[in-house]
Chain A
């Protein structure tokens, strides 16, 4: 699909397509989240949502290293993870609007998107709530001998929860194929992480003997390279690992968190967006390498905008679940 101005060497064509695909996925998440914000401000979406804008390189860089049947667990800020693992925007929007066509028939909403078809064990509204689930999926994969791995996404806020350390200990004892991905977006809700986090972060994992790396979470190529390595070693039976991705939450804790002056400056926000935007930086690199030109990137954007528009229209038009569904699926 590439139309690079300078034709890349044949052996790197797959590579080029991969980076262009990752550009597309990151932009897809960005545009999805902008639509979510729009649905909120137009009062079309019940409740709230926690936007992933600014952090796209983490989900995309990591999920690009996974097989379709690998597992992920996600967080309250989970749209990016779900999309990167293969969820489709129309059914995502439908879930966010509480519609029957949504991934969870409208019963989960923004914070609970789950999809067995893409290995998504579920987004989780308890901070660190899915640490056990991801570790258990890795336990199961190992026992069943499937070669699957599990990725546990969590924010730096989850570092305050004891269960994270309980399961890292178990994963290392039993050499489970799980990668703990800490997205440090600097803010634990409305509080800077330095006010909530003593000592180091990476060293918390190495204390259990887990190999740990820290990467620039705004650089999708760095994230992907680290993830590919850690996923590979997990798949080869070498056990769990920890990846710290330093990133930034462009928007508020949730869509309603508009006035943020009391916990961070506008200047800080502008600086990250101007200098360290993962999508802009990958686009610049693609053009710099002659892997893509401005026309290709513009076409990708136009295609995605059209897709999002249709997806939103689908979700708005979709019916709500019938009231009698309320007590279905409490028990299997």
Chain B
């Protein structure tokens, strides 16, 4: 965790600082994407970068996700460190061949000779009233594929430290940012730091139940933990921070300690991240569990537009609180 005296910046500023620092440090790093230069993306996450680094390193592309992602794969293989910006996570579907068949497999298929040090930054998360094609959380798809790493920061501090590590990684890394989090403030030290991939963070210590939260669901889990505290239940909140590599040890140890686990992730529950993490915990902590591992994810429906409908689809503090209360026999 960051030191207490750290300054506070937003999640978007943390992303921007990580990119700027790595671009100053390494001339091979460049940014490719739709409206990334003067516009600084629709979320304004990249504002100011083109002014410092110029249009040679911050490149506006046509609306061609497959094309510029494929281009980034080839650039990464031949000495660049591209960071591609896929505006909405829903659009990763257009990049699937480039990421799954090309980026993920080049190193292995070439017997370890070629490498693909690239980062894909994209978004996840519902609740912006953006309907079914701008609201999905599809990080499970990439987590399924050997050769890719998948990062899910949940705080400004984690976002900066993890993105810097992702850019320095020798492999293709997909970095999912929660759209609803860009304006969230948090402590981030001004001094240089990085966070390794594959190390979970205990966001809150507790004794009675473990809430595993990812990305947007970490704050939900922390909120639920506060509510649980009021009824005398001590909840631990674990943030894996990366779905691959996955810090299985920290997850299992927490489960062994508390004996009850709920996994909360904004992706679809079916065949999703929650299923994998629940299976890891069930296999690793079976004899210490007092209840089945519970999963909470997006409902198995396309995300609807209408606000009261959309709000039904993703877990919230109240629903996690209710589930935890029931699991602890506090009804």
Contact = CB atoms under 8 A, between A and B. Distances in A.
B74 A330 contact: no
A173 B68 CA distance: 12
A162 B78 CA distance: 24
Closest 9 CB pairs of A and B: A132-B70, A136-B74, A166-B67, A105-B111, A133-B74, A329-B112, A104-B111, A332-B170, A166-B64
Contacts of A102: 111
B111 A140 contact: no
B108 A330 contact: yes
B306 to A, nearest CB: 33
Contact of A136 (B62, B66, B75, B170): B75
Interface residues of A, number: 46
B67 A104 contact: no
Contacts of B113: 104, 114-116
B188 interface: no
Contacts, number: 149
B97 A137 contact: no
Given A137-B78, A166-B64, A170-B67, A132 B115 contact: no
Given A173-B62, A330-B146, A108 B110 contact: yes
Interface stretch (B98-106, B206-214, B286-294): B98-106
A104 B110 contact: yes
Contacts of A202: none
A1 to B, nearest CB: 32
Contacts of A135: 67, 70-71, 74
A139 B111 contact: no
A202 B157 CA distance: 52
29 contacts: A102-B111, A108-B110, A114-B109, A114-B110, A121-B74, A121-B78, A132-B71, A132-B102, A133-B70, A134-B74, A136-B70, A136-B73, A136-B76, A136-B78, A136-B82, A137-B74, A139-B80, A140-B75, A140-B78, A163-B66, A169-B62, A169-B64, A170-B67, A173-B62, A174-B59, A328-B112, A330-B146, A331-B147, A332-B170
Given A114-B111, A169-B67, 17 more contacts: A71-B78, A103-B111, A107-B111, A108-B110, A114-B114, A129-B101, A130-B102, A132-B71, A136-B76, A137-B78, A138-B74, A139-B75, A140-B74, A143-B56, A170-B64, A174-B59, A331-B147
Interface string A286-311: 00000000000000000000000000
A167 interface: yes
Contacts of B97: 126, 129, 163
Contacts of B114: 114, 116, 121-122
Contacts of B109: 104, 107-108, 112, 114, 122
B77 A133 contact: yes
A167 B70 contact: yes
Interface string B273-316: 00000000000000000000000000000000000000000000
Nearest to A136: B74
Interface in A156-204: 162-163, 166-167, 169-170, 173-174
A170 B74 contact: no
Given A122-B106, A143-B80, A332-B171, A136 B112 contact: no
B107 A331 contact: yes
A124 B78 CA distance: 17
Given A122-B109, A135-B70, A162-B66, A170 B61 contact: yes
Interface in B88-130: 97-98, 101-102, 106-117
Residue from B77, B101, B146, B170 with most neighbouring chain A CB atoms (10 Å): B77
Contacts of A139: 71, 74-75, 80
Nearest to A178: B74
Interface in A193-238: none
B108 A329 contact: yes
B79 interface: yes
